[in-house]
Structure 1
Amino acid sequence: MNSQSALLPASLVTTGWLAQHLGEPDLLVLDASVQMVPTPPHRVPMREAYREAHLPGAVFADLVNDLSDPDSPLAITRPSAHRATTVFGQLGIGPRTRVVAYDCEFGQYAARLWWLLKSAGHDAVAVLDGGLRKWTGEGRAVESGEVEPVPAAFAASPRPGMWADKQQVMAVVRDGVQATLVNAVPELPADTSLLPEEAVRVMSTTIPGSVNVPYPSLAQPGTSMLRASEDRAQFLASVTRGRPAIVYCNSGLNAPLVGFSLLAAGHDEVMVYDGSLEEWLGDPHAPVERRTIPG
């Protein structure tokens, strides 16, 4: 583990801790906010909202464009090692940089950035619990405009074992390879009249043998904070310990929040299927089942 990670209290830090350490020269705060919209391209980086109000000194990290593979036919897939190294360096992340990621929701986008950095070998990274909403709700200062990062030499040490591909998932479904598939897609609401038809299809479908851990279930209802670790553990109880877990969602954008929580709960081997149902449902030969979530 990178020794710098010892200088972060945990993988999830509080607004109080960040307020005490904000401005330290080796601490970089990144805004990873994304807005979901009902029309294409569906996922929009919130750079304009960032320019209106962001944590003091925070730099914007574009998950949708800069930190995705521009050559992929899928909407959100991780960048190549070379692209990640370049972009992380441009954001100002060096080998001794401590990173705190936040977003405008309850951490699902910050967790994607956390996962990208961890899988690139950078351990000194944490998610801000409560994100921008909790920070502003406490009356803490924000800034407007755009912060120009100071480029650094990012040192990548890729961990491919944090990612799964379609072939690995297929091996679990068809060949009996031992792993737990975890569907992190939100539950289908009772009233689907306002949802696009494709969203209803995705939320009603699962890969055979999967357990359900909808990523919104990990948040405290009515807040932008995650549930306490012991409460999150109850929602993760269906994921078998002692075997690999492969987490997926619609595109791979939100699955890392469940992966993040599984690692925090002590699971040793957790992967994100980066392609998720968008790739799986694009294959007419890939098996699927109707999804049911016990009430």
Structure 2
Amino acid sequence: MDSTVTKRWLLARLYEPEQTIVDCRFTLGKPQEGKERYNKEHIPGAVYLDLELDLSAPVGGHGGRHPLPDTQVLASRLSKLGIGNDTRIVAYDDENGMNAARLWWLLRYLGHEQVYILEGGFSQWKEGKYPVTDHQPVRVPSSFVANVRPQMLAGVEEVREVSAKTVNNAGAETGSDVNVADAVPTLPVLIDSRAKDRYQGMNETLDKKAGHIPGALNYFWKNTQNADGSFKSADELAAHFAGLDKEAEIIVYCGSGVTACPNVLALEKAGYKNVRLYAGSWSDWISYEDNPVATGDE
């Protein structure tokens, strides 16, 4: 089954007891807004998970702006919401899927495969005249046991090594969203998921340094989606990522590890099997003063 579901698919299964719907709406810079919107109206039966309080750990010296949450703390939170290891989870947001994709990635990192993202998010659900409510469900606690998959992560030390290898072995000029068929096939690939101007170091409003990790290619995460917020088809995504060797190791990052998650999903949908997340991403990278910074196009 695909990692996304349609509104019609969810409507047909809206009240199935083995399913939990999770509202992940969140607005950067306005941390209360997502929960307020949930309290006002949400998909019937949905519970709420906060990007910064539930799906991230407190910010420290390293780890980026949205460090990964402690796995046992998250497992306990899921258990209290009635989510167990056999629960099917459907996540949604109103931010083009970026927060829902964070939950999608985290759950798979915890060993849970039955997790999906609602295409189009809450606004399209409501605009389609599908049911909404302000009633908050009473949840019977369950037991979620984490089976962590560390192989899904790449740490800063490994990213340093991949960056250095990429720069040292660069034999062909590559750039943003271009065909990289001439790159060394076995060379690991770093993908920067941010908008082009941030990747180039031209417009940085969130982090203290501008630019990108040397050697990284720019594939803006929103380019994996259609105008209505749904993800492109597998064939369209394969064309989008054309030139990347499907056997190569791919490490994906963004500003803080959130918008990289839709790119991870898109790469997997396009048939890439060896995709990992640099969770701390750019905001973690620049927390180490000795890490090099590149600007412009690669």
Query: For this structure pair, what is the TM-score category when the shorter chain's length is used for normalisation?
Result: 0.7 to 0.9
Counterpart CA distance in 2 for 1:108 and 1:66 is: 15
Aligned partner of 2:87 among 84, 97, 100: 97
> RMSD in angstroms over aligned alpha carbons?
2.4
Structure 1 equivalent of residue 296 of structure 2:
291
**What residue identity is the alignment partner of 1:170?**
R
**Where is the strand percentage greater, Structure 1 or Structure 2?**
1
Query: What is the distance in 2 between the residues matched to 1:36 and 1:85?
Result: 24
The whole-number CA distance in structure 2 between the counterparts of 1:186 and 1:15 is 28
Q: Residue type matched to 2:188 in 1?
A: A
Residue type matched to 1:292 in 2? D
Q: TM-score when scaled to structure 1?
A: 0.86
2:20 aligned residue = 28
Q: Render the CA deviation track for 1:252-277: whole Å, top value 9, x for unaligned.
A: 01101100111121111111111100
For 1:220 and 1:59, how far apart are their aligned partners in 2?
27
What is the DSSP-based 3-state SS (H/G/I as helix, E as strand, rest coil) of the residue aligned with 1:35?
coil
Q: Distance in 1 between matches of 2:42 and 2:195?
A: 28
Residues 57-109 of structure 1: per-residue CA shift (max 9 Å, x gap): 11101121122123644321111221121122122211210001111122111
> Runs (4+) of structure 1 moved beyond 4 Å?
42-45, 195-201
Asked if the contact 1:45/1:63 (under 8 Å) is kept, the reply is: no
- The percentage of aligned residue pairs carrying the same residue is 31
The answer (yes or no) to whether the contact 1:180–1:240 under 8 Å persists in 2 is no
Secondary structure of 1:231 counterpart? helix
Counterpart of 2:251? 246
Classify the secondary structure of the residue corresponding to 2:196: coil
Secondary structure in 2 matching 1:122: coil
Shift of 1:234: 2.2
- Residues 198, 143 of structure 1: alpha-carbon distance in 2 compared, 3 angstrom cutoff: closer
| Distance in 2, Cα, partners of 1:101 & 1:274 | 20
Distance change (3 Å), C-alpha of 1:118 and 1:57: same
Unaligned runs of 5+ in 1: 1-8
After superposition, where does 1:125-274 map in structure 2 within 5 Å?
125-175=115-165, 178-188=187-197, 197-198=205-206, 202=210, 205-221=211-227, 223-274=228-279
Distance, in Å, in 2 between the alignment partners of 1:260 and 1:25 is: 26
Q: How has the CA–CA distance of structure 1 residues 214 and 261 changed in structure 2, closer, same or farther, with 3 Å as cutoff?
A: same
Mark the CA change 1:45 to 1:81 in structure 2 (over 3 Å): closer, same or farther: farther
Residue 282 in structure 1 maps to residue 272 in structure 2: no
Residues matched between the structures, number: 275
Does the CA-based 8 Å contact 1:211-1:239 persist in structure 2?
Answer: no
| Contact 1:211–1:238 (Cα < 8 Å) also in 2 | no
Q: Do structure 1's residue 69 and structure 2's residue 74 form an aligned pair?
A: no
> Is residue 2:47 matched to residue 1:59?
yes
Does 1:111 find its partner at 2:120? no
Q: Secondary structure at the match of 1:206?
A: coil
Q: Aligned in 2, Cα 1:164/1:266: closer, same or farther, shift over 3 Å? A: same
What is the aligned partner in structure 1 of residue 171 from structure 2?
Answer: none
Paired with 1:280 and 1:43, the residues of 2 have a C-alpha distance of 24
Conserved in 1, the CA contact under 8 Å of 2:89 and 2:115? yes
Structure 2: 5+ residue runs without aligned partners? Answer: 167-185
Contact 1:134–1:224 under 8 Å retained in 2: no
CA deviation map 1:114-137 (0-9, x unaligned): 000000001111111111122112
Instruction: Name the CA shift for 1:107/1:68 in 2 (closer, same or farther; >3 Å).
Output: same
| CA spacing shift, 1:45–1:77, aligned 2, 3 Å | farther
